[in-house]
Structure 1
């Protein structure tokens, strides 16, 4: 086989069936969903598919009035789509690295912008971060996922998981925080002394403080969030 030939390129990059179940990492930045019924995914995350699959934008009452009201309050721009059918679905989000989590009756909080896909068996709820909304561009919100099933989350580059203990709390930059265990409730603290170093437009450095026992996932990147009203 000639070096750099089309055949060599195809051989190196072609799709492979790994037999890993519903969610498979086709590449570190491409999720393969072996769809047999339905799955929830971030709207706009579809890259390709084969088979008989239909896509539906989440309806006004798909998740109840309570969640609709929270979404309106949060002003966030992320919405979901439902993929229904039988086939292979490929999802990605701006080349971000994908991690697959298998929940078995436990729960996790995920930054709303970092949720890629999850099974319908997972229950979820939007949690607003009102105290920090005015301090960051577009505000910030997260989604609590719990139950049993698979969840796919994304991060810019490789994620780092920090263990939290009663004697050793963890402080994070909200823009670099991806997820945390469902038993933790972050507290928002400010440090005016860091203003000069971090250059926050609000004049304050906002940090998330995690106390208790659990974990928090961060990424080596500060993500900027935009509200729906700021999107063109």
Structure 2
């Protein structure tokens, strides 16, 4: 049987080392010898002795936070020996290796899989209010290990070494050490009152030293419904204490 479908580019990529790696730009391959965490429903194929265990958001604390915020990652634990292939609606897949001391703030909707050595929590996006892609909250990953994230289209990685502003619906993830806020990009005036707008009412601001990953697509914001924009550093109260 002959077909371009069977070209070397489409054949399964083999490696002697277990772990997460790219099969292609839209497909993640996990060469499994132990366990890792993955988004529920992301498995498209597997070979070998593999078991899947639903975890919800990964613990009662994260479950409560997810219910309160709408943010989080619906997880399954994948265990055993074999090869597991994962994807999310043909989105582009990218791998990020975290080292000790690193912290990555990411929209939970863009998390595809991660090694079990990593830890994550749901945190307030300081100063950004409802202006972040994930809404009022984001997932913050720490520890040492690899995480696979998704974007809609090929992203740009901006180095934050000067004031940086990003459409909140295009910001995927950023260095958690950055200071975040929001900036009114569409100036108020008679034109605004008459319904004329640039379509860029607010942007997220980033300051400090780090990076921001921006996708060429705008996703509608999620998060805690009913909370408007504002400086979250002054939110306080029960939620402020819970997510500090």
Do they superpose with TM above 0.5? Answer: yes
* Equivalences, count: 215
Aligned counterpart, 2:178: 184
Question: Displacement, 1:91?
Answer: 0.7
Aligned to 2:209: 213
Task: Indicate the SS of the match to 1:69.
Answer: helix
Q: How far apart are residue 217 of structure 1 and its match?
A: 0.8
**Structure 1 residues 46, 228: CA separation in 2 closer, same or farther (over 3 Å shift)?**
farther
* Equivalent-residue separation in structure 1 for 2:15 and 2:121 (angstroms): 32
Unmatched tracts of structure 2, length 5 or more: 226-244
CA distance in 1, matches of 2:135, 2:178: 20
Distance 1:41 1:140, change over 3 A: farther
Aligned to 1:89: 84
Please name the residue that 1:26 is paired with: 23
Q: Deviations over 1:136-172 (max 9, x none)?
A: 898353211111111111111111111112xx11100
DSSP-derived class of the 1:44 partner: coil
Question: 2: CA distance between counterparts of 1:185 and 1:71?
Answer: 23
Shift of 1:208: 0.9
1:45 pairs with 2:33: no
Q: Alpha-carbon deviation of 1:224? A: 2.2
Q: Does structure 2 conserve the Cα–Cα contact (< 8 Å) formed by 1:70 and 1:128? A: no
**Corresponding residue SS for 2:178:** coil
2:143 aligns to what SS in structure 1? strand
Q: Does 1:124 align with 2:120?
A: yes
Deviation, 1:20, is: 5.5
SS of the equivalent of 1:72 reads helix
Is the CA contact (8 Å cut-off) linking 1:132 and 1:206 kept in structure 2? no
- Find the counterpart in structure 2 of residue 197 from structure 1: 198
Kept in 2, the 8 Å contact 1:77–1:228? The answer is no
Which of 62, 66, 83 is the aligned partner of 1:71?
A: 66
Q: Which residue of 1 aligns with 2:238?
A: none
Distance 1:136 1:173 in 2: 9
Let me know the Cα RMSD of the aligned residues.
Answer: 2.6
SS at match of 1:113: helix
Instruction: Quote the Cα distance in structure 2 between the aligned partners of 1:227 and 1:187.
Output: 16
Q: Is the 8 A contact 1:78 1:112 kept in 2?
A: yes
1:99 aligns with 2:100: no
Unmatched 5+ stretches in structure 1: 200-204
